Structure 1
Amino acid sequence: MKAQPQPLQPGDFYYTPEGYMVFTEQYHRRRGTCCGSGCRHCPWRKKKPDGRP
């Protein structure tokens, strides 16, 4: 089952200095699943053995 996009709420994203929109962990948790795109704030992304994302 594919996760459905969620309506944006305050705190769901921010813009980088380059103008890219970045979703926060808050948005990803509400969405409910990982999309597999390697998102910066994905709460399901596996960490490397040394503890780095």
Structure 2
Amino acid sequence: MKNILPIEEGDFYWSEDGYRVFTEQYHLKRGYCCESGCKHCPYGYDPKTNSQ
């Protein structure tokens, strides 16, 4: 079971389209790559090649 992390200031921002965009800070705090092609992924995941 995955731990639920509390959202803190700096973990995300709202896009112009109204979507929540998680920052690199949040991804590093989470500690793993979800392989969803996140905009600020610090783990180097490439959805085109499906590799990190």
TM-score, reference length from structure 1:
0.76
Q: How many residues align?
A: 46
1:5: how far off?
Answer: 3.5
Which stretches in structure 2 are left out of the alignment for 5+ residues? 47-52
Identity percentage of aligned residues: 52
Which stretches in structure 1 are left out of the alignment for 5+ residues? 48-53
Q: Map 1:1-53 onto structure 2 (within 5 A).
A: 3-46=2-45
Superposition CA RMSD, Å: 1.6
TM-score, reference length from structure 2:
0.77
1:3: how far off?
Answer: 4.6
